[in-house]
Structure formats: structure tokens, C-alpha cells
């Protein structure tokens, strides 16, 4: 789209500035929202997918809820605490009813867990959060959850499971899609879903929390960013998510519209292969002969990080919609360490480090990444390649569709090993659990124990592993968090990954609408409120 000198964005700008059609006052009762994607199902247990999960929170509640920064707050459980090393006790909220009038009790939780772990044909089930836990109803409003080993994250896991009425324990996914079984306890009731077209919700007047303001909400999936922005300007919709960077100045400068931005927990990072074996074809000497990965040496990894001008990427590639990152979490988010700053751009020092590591003459490198998966992903890779070339690493870029990339990224090499020497990918913490990125990316790969599934570069530090494991088996949550922050600091200083930036999430709405937003880039309809 950028190739056109007089592109649609340019005209959108012209249209918006010259011939403004003022958006009328917001109807206090109804809301129309355009989202960039739609759920694959309205069954809250069908697929563990971000859009499905955020839609599920509109109609259903979990025992524990997450606020916009993924801190745990009371949901259908009013409080919870460990009663011994292996058991958590949840005190359930009294007087809550499902949309069909049935009373909520501990039996519903037990039935939900039974169903959520075993939904047929699930492309990504919630069993991960349920397996290994025993659920016991002490009485109607007290529930005990026990695990075989001490496990501090039971409340986090419980925040992932939407509670359904036990009457629907045997309901099919189709029953939830059509509304036969979709009775939750959440702020909205489910009205209808026409796939690809519309989702309709209505207010739950009997909600146990603060009732929402809208009588009815219409949600439309509009995949194309410019169409979404046009729909908002034309007044077809009141609220949109994911403003395309090119449309942002238009919407920001326009009367009658407001834009919301926040630094999200979606991190873009580079991973650099750091073991001897195997030798990959993507790092070579100047004649093209494969060499052992230069990134075995921490100084070469640091050189890459110092070579990347994160601020230039934010300003020129991302149109200001990224914040330079030095760790997994953005500031203010769980697991954030105040001691870690994003590396400043320092090509001179980077060249020195390369020379110290024995690569003073440079080498050739191919960096890989997905195309179209993350905001501006290809252009970021191209920018990084230029920056690396400037310090003597002669860098080529190879991008591919995400569906091809992820397979090669995780097991495209010999013996199903990760294929690439240097690759860019993204990560967002879905669970709000502070050890999550450490368990996935940083811990030594131990498949059978569930450690290091995303550790594709062979990073391994026994001290870090121990900190992660100790933290994950301590019921003292504050102590665990300290261990995780310490592990993060060690791993980041050894460039277990090279963080690039956190994406800045955007929303836009007609004036008179407020949106409570935080580190999550998905949209929560019940956080959209009329402005007083």
C-alpha cells in the first residue's frame, strides 16, 4: 500500500481534514465495536487463543480475574490463600447467579474443570492449567485445589478458566456457539454470533460487579486496518482496536475522536544461536563457508544488541508505536526489573566487542523472521540488517509467512532442532504469571518437564535454572518474584535473548467514550465506558 504515492491513507487524511463529518453524540445505550479479528468459537473452553479468551471474559467469569495489567483481582472467588504447601483454598462469592438464573456454587467449578480439560477437537486446550490439580468442594462456597508438589500459581491458572453452569457440563462447542449453553456470570449476556459478520451482547443487569453501561453491544470483525479507521470516521462504529500506524495521525488530529495508547507486553526479540553443535549455514566467513555460531561468545551477542538503534526503529519504522525494551516486561508490569535498561545505541563499542570476541573482520549472517505476523516485522528486520552491517556483520534478511517460519524456527534443522542462527520473533505473556517467560525461553530445554519449549538458541545457565525452579515451587509469592527478577537480570545481561521493543497498542473511539487500557493489547468490551 505504501508504494502508491497517493495512497488511501493520504486521501483518508485529506478527507478527514477537509470534509469532516462530525460524529453525533454517543447513544448512551448502544455500542458498536470493530475488532481486527473474531473468535474461533464462543465456547470459552474450545481454544486457548487470545481473542477467544478476551471475548470469554465478557460473558463468563473466572474464579480469579486479571486487571488490565494482569494483576490478579477477585472474581467468582472473593478471596484465596494457601492452606498448606500443596493446597489452595478459594472462598467463593455468595449470591452470584448465572444468566439462566442458576445459583453459582463450588459444584459448577468442579464441573467446569471436568469439561474444560476435555473439549473434543480443541486446537489448543486448557488442560495445561487443569491437569495435575485435584478439586474438592468443602461446602457450597469453599473450594480446595491441591497439587502434588508445592505450586504457587494455582490462582493464575484459575484466572484462565471461564466458569460455566454445571447443567452444561456435557454441552458441545456448537451449543455454546449457538447460545443454547452460553450462560455465564459475566457482565454481558450472549445474544447471537454470525461468524465473520457480527457478535451481539446485551447487558447483564444482575451482574455481581459494577454493571456495564451499554444495553446492547454489536461487535464487527473488520480485518483491514484502513477500513476499520474509515468505519470509525464515517460513524458506522463507535470504537476500534489496532489503529494502523499510517492512520494514526489522521485519527489523532481529528475533532470528535480520541485515541488511546499504551505500551503493551508484546515484546519483539532476537534470538542468537549459542552452541557449537550443529554448525548452521546461516553464519559464514566472507567466502561463504559455514562457521560455528559467533554468538557462543556473549560479547558477540552484546555487540548485536549495541548495534541495534532501538529509538530509530521506534521513530522511523514503527511511526512512534514502539518502546525500546531491555527485558520481557514493560515498566509497571509483573516481573519488571528496575535495574535493566534498554541498551543504548553504541556502534563503536559494538565493533570493539566483536574484535574482542575474535571477529574483528566481521562475518556473514542471515537473519530470519516472519512476514506479516508482527507490526512492521519485515521492515524492522531490514533495519536491523543495516545496523549489523554497519558494525561489520554482513547481514542478509530472509522472511517468510508465519506458518512456514514457526515450523523452521522451532524444528527446521537436522534432527528437528531449531534451524536459524539469528531470528526475530515476538512474545506476550498470556498468563500474567511472572515466571512464564523464564520457563518458556530462558530455562535450559527439558521437554518432559515443560521447561524451555521456546528456548531455541541453547542458552543454559544452572544458576538461572535453579532460581526459576525455586521460585516456581515456593508458596511465598513475594520471594518467588524476587527470584524471577534476579533470574531475568542474569539472563538479560548474558543476552539469552536480545529484546528489541514492546509494541504500543492503540484504540480509537468517538468522543464521549473512555477506555481503561493497560499492558494487554487485546480489547475488553466491558472496559469501554461512556465518559462522564
Backbone angles phi, psi at 97, to 5 degrees: -125, 155
Residue 220 or 299 having the CB closest to other proteins: 220
Segment holding 353, helix H or strand E = helix 347-356
Among the candidate windows 230-238, 278-286, 342-350, 501-509, which touches other proteins by CB under 8 A? 230-238
The footprint of other proteins on this chain (CB under 8 A) covers a number of residues equal to: 62
* One-character DSSP codes across 7-59: -HHHHHHHHHHHSPPPP-PPPSSEEEEEESS--S-S-TTTB--HHHHHHHHHH
Q: How far apart are CA 300 and CA 289, in angstroms?
A: 19
Cβ at position 429, least distance to other proteins in Å: 9
Q: Enumerate residues 6+ apart whose C-beta is below 8 A from 521.
A: 242, 264, 265, 266, 428, 503, 505
Among the candidate windows 207-215, 335-343, 398-406, 458-466, which touches other proteins by CB under 8 A? 398-406
Residue 89 or 247 having the CB closest to other proteins: 247
Residue 167 or 428 having the CB closest to other proteins: 428
Residue 257 or 313 having the CB closest to other proteins: 257
Interaction residues for other proteins, span 272-301 (CB under 8 A) = none
Which residue, 495, 465, 418, 459, is CA-closest to 275? Answer: 459
Q: Does 174 interact with other proteins (rule: CB under 8 A)? A: yes
Cβ at position 459, least distance to other proteins in Å: 17
Local structure of 226: helix, strand or coil: helix
Q: Does 227 interact with other proteins (rule: CB under 8 A)? A: yes
Residue 57's Cα: distance from chain center in Å?
A: 16
Interaction residues for other proteins, span 454-483 (CB under 8 A) = 454
Interaction residues for other proteins, span 232-251 (CB under 8 A) = 233-236
- Grid cell, residue 315, equals 521513530
Q: Does 491 interact with other proteins (rule: CB under 8 A)? A: no
Interaction residues for other proteins, span 205-224 (CB under 8 A) = 220-224
Residue 122 or 329 having the CB closest to other proteins: 122
Q: Does 263 interact with other proteins (rule: CB under 8 A)? A: no
Q: Enumerate residues 6+ apart whose C-beta is below 8 A from 147.
A: 86, 87, 132, 133, 134, 154
Q: How far apart are CA 501 and CA 441, in angstroms?
A: 17
Q: How far apart are CA 146 and CA 156, in angstroms?
A: 14
Q: Enumerate residues 6+ apart whose C-beta is below 8 A from 52.
A: 39, 40, 41, 44, 46
Residue 436 or 526 having the CB closest to other proteins: 436
Q: Which of 378, 389, 410, 461 binds other proteins (CB under 8 A)?
A: 410
Q: Which of 76, 143, 230, 384 binds other proteins (CB under 8 A)?
A: 230
Task: Decide if 34 contacts 240 (C-beta within 8 A).
Answer: yes
Q: Enumerate residues 6+ apart whose C-beta is below 8 A from 307.
A: 345, 347, 350, 387, 388, 390, 391, 393
Residue in the structure block whose three cell numbers are 454445571: 166
Which residue, 270, 341, 345, is CA-closest to 307? Answer: 345
Cβ at position 79, least distance to other proteins in Å: 26
Residue 220 or 242 having the CB closest to other proteins: 220
Q: Which of 407, 414, 463, 473 binds other proteins (CB under 8 A)?
A: 407
> Longest C-alpha distance within the chain, in Å?
74
Q: How far apart are CA 323 and CA 342, in angstroms?
A: 9
Residue 89 or 433 having the CB closest to other proteins: 433
Which residue, 66, 63, 60, 64, is CA-closest to 99? Answer: 60
Residue 233 or 283 having the CB closest to other proteins: 233
Cβ at position 458, least distance to other proteins in Å: 18
Q: Which of 403, 462, 478, 532 binds other proteins (CB under 8 A)?
A: 403
Interaction residues for other proteins, span 437-456 (CB under 8 A) = 440, 447-448, 450, 453-454
Which residue, 132, 514, 70, is CA-closest to 333? Answer: 70
Cβ at position 129, least distance to other proteins in Å: 9
Cβ at position 93, least distance to other proteins in Å: 27
Interaction residues for other proteins, span 322-341 (CB under 8 A) = none
Residue 148 or 287 having the CB closest to other proteins: 148
The mark string for 21-50 relative to other proteins (x by CB under 8 A, - otherwise) is x------------------xx----xxxx-
Residue 37 or 167 having the CB closest to other proteins: 37
What per-residue string of b and e applies to 471-488 under the rule 16 or more CB within 10 Å gives b?
Answer: bbebbeeeebbebbbbbb
Helix then strand then coil, in percent of the chain rounded to 5, is 30, 25, 45
The mark string for 175-204 relative to other proteins (x by CB under 8 A, - otherwise) is -------------------xxxxx------
Among the candidate windows 3-11, 85-93, 272-280, 462-470, which touches other proteins by CB under 8 A? 3-11
Interaction residues for other proteins, span 130-159 (CB under 8 A) = 131
Residue 371 or 514 having the CB closest to other proteins: 371
3-state secondary structure 260-303: EEEEEEEEEEEEECCCCCCCCCCEECCCCCECCCHHHCHHHHHH
Task: Decide if 63 contacts 116 (C-beta within 8 A).
Answer: no
Q: Does 54 interact with other proteins (rule: CB under 8 A)? A: no
Name the residues that contact other proteins, by CB under 8 A.
1, 4, 7-8, 11-12, 15-16, 19, 21, 40-41, 46-49, 120-125, 127-128, 131, 173-174, 194-198, 220-224, 226-227, 230-231, 233-236, 401-407, 410, 430-431, 436, 440, 447-448, 450, 453-454
Amino acid at each position: 500500500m505504501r508504494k502508491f504515492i497517493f495512497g488511501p491513507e493520504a486521501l483518508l487524511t485529506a478527507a478527514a481534514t477537509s470534509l469532516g463529518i462530525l460524529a453525533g453524540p454517543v447513544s448512551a445505550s448502544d455500542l458498536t465495536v470493530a475488532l481486527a479479528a473474531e473468535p474461533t468459537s464462543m465456547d470459552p473452553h474450545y481454544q486457548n487463543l487470545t481473542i477467544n479468551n478476551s471475548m470469554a471474559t465478557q460473558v463468563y467469569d473466572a474464579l480469579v480475574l486479571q486487571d488490565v495489567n494482569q494483576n490478579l483481582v477477585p472474581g467468582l472467588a472473593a478471596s484465596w490463600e494457601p492452606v498448606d504447601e500443596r493446597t489452595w483454598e478459594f472462598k467463593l462469592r455468595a449470591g452470584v447467579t448465572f444468566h439462566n438464573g442458576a445459583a453459582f456454587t463450588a459444584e459448577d467449578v468442579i464441573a467446569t474443570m471436568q469439561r474444560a480439560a476435555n473439549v473434543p477437537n480443541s486446537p489448543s486446550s486448557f488442560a495445561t492449567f487443569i491437569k495435575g490439580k485435584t478439586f474438592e468442594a468443602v461446602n457450597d462456597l469453599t473450594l480446595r485445589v491441591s497439587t502434588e508438589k508445592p505450586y504457587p500459581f494455582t490462582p493464575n491458572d484459575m484466572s484462565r478458566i471461564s466458569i460455566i453452569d454445571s447443567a452444561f457440563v456435557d454441552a458441545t462447542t456448537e451449543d455454546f456457539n449457538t447460545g443454547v449453553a452460553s450462560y455465564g456470570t459475566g457482565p454481558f449476556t450472549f445474544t447471537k454470533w454470525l461468524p465473520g459478520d457480527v457478535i451481539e451482547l446485551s447487558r447483564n443487569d444482575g451482574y455481581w460487579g459494577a454493571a456495564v453501561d451499554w444495553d446492547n453491544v454489536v461487535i464487527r470483525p473488520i480485518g483491514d486496518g484502513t477500513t476499520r479507521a474509515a468505519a470509525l470516521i464515517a460513524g458506522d462504529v463507535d470504537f476500534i482496536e489496532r489503529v494502523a500506524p499510517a492512520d494514526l495521525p489522521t485519527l489523532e488530529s481529528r475533532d470528535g475522536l480520541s485515541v488511546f495508547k499504551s505500551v503493551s507486553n508484546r515484546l519483539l526479540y532476537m534470538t542468537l544461536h549459542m552452541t557449537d553443535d550443529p554448525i548452521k549455514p546461516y553464519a559464514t566467513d566472507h567466502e561463504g563457508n559455514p562457521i560455528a555460531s559467533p554468538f557462543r561468545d556473549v560479547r558477540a551477542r552484546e555487540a548485536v544488541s549495541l548495534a541495534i538503534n532501538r529509538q530509530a526503529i521506534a521513530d522511523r519504522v514503527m511511526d512512534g508505536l514502539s518502546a525500546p525494551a531491555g527485558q520481557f516486561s514493560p515498566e509497571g508490569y509483573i516481573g519488571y526489573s528496575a535495574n535493566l535498561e534498554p541498551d543504548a545505541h553504541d556502534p563503536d563499542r559494538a565493533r570493539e566487542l566483536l574484535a574482542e570476541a575474535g571477529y574483528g573482520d566481521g562475518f556473514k549472517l542471515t537473519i530470519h523472521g516472519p512476514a506479516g505476523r508482527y507490526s512492521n516485522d519485515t521492515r524492522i528486520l531490514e533495519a536491523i540488517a543495516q545496523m549489523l552491517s554497519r558494525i561489520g556483520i554482513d547481514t542478509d534478511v530472509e522472511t517468510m509467512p508465519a506458518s512456514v517460519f514457526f515450523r523452521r524456527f522451532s524444528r527446521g534443522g537436522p534432527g528437528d532442532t531449531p534451524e536459524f542462527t539469528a531470528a526475530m520473533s515476538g512474545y506476550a505473556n498470556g498468563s500474567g504469571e511472572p515466571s512464564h517467560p523464564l520457563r518458556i525461553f530462558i530455562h535450559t530445554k527439558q521437554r518432559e518437564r515443560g521447561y524451555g519449549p521456546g528456548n531455541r538458541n541453547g542458552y543454559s545457565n544452572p544458576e538461572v535454572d535453579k532460581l526459576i525452579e525455586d521460585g516456581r515451587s515456593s508458596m511465598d509469592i513475594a520471594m518467588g518474584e524476587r527470584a524471577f527478577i534476579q533470574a531475568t537480570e542474569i539472563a538479560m545481561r548474558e543476552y539469552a535473548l536480545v529484546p528489541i521493543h514492546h509494541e504500543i497498542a492503540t484504540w480509537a473511539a468517538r468522543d464521549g467514550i473512555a477506555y481503561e487500557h493497560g499492558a494487554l493489547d487485546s480489547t475488553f468490551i466491558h472496559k469501554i465506558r461512556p465518559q462522564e
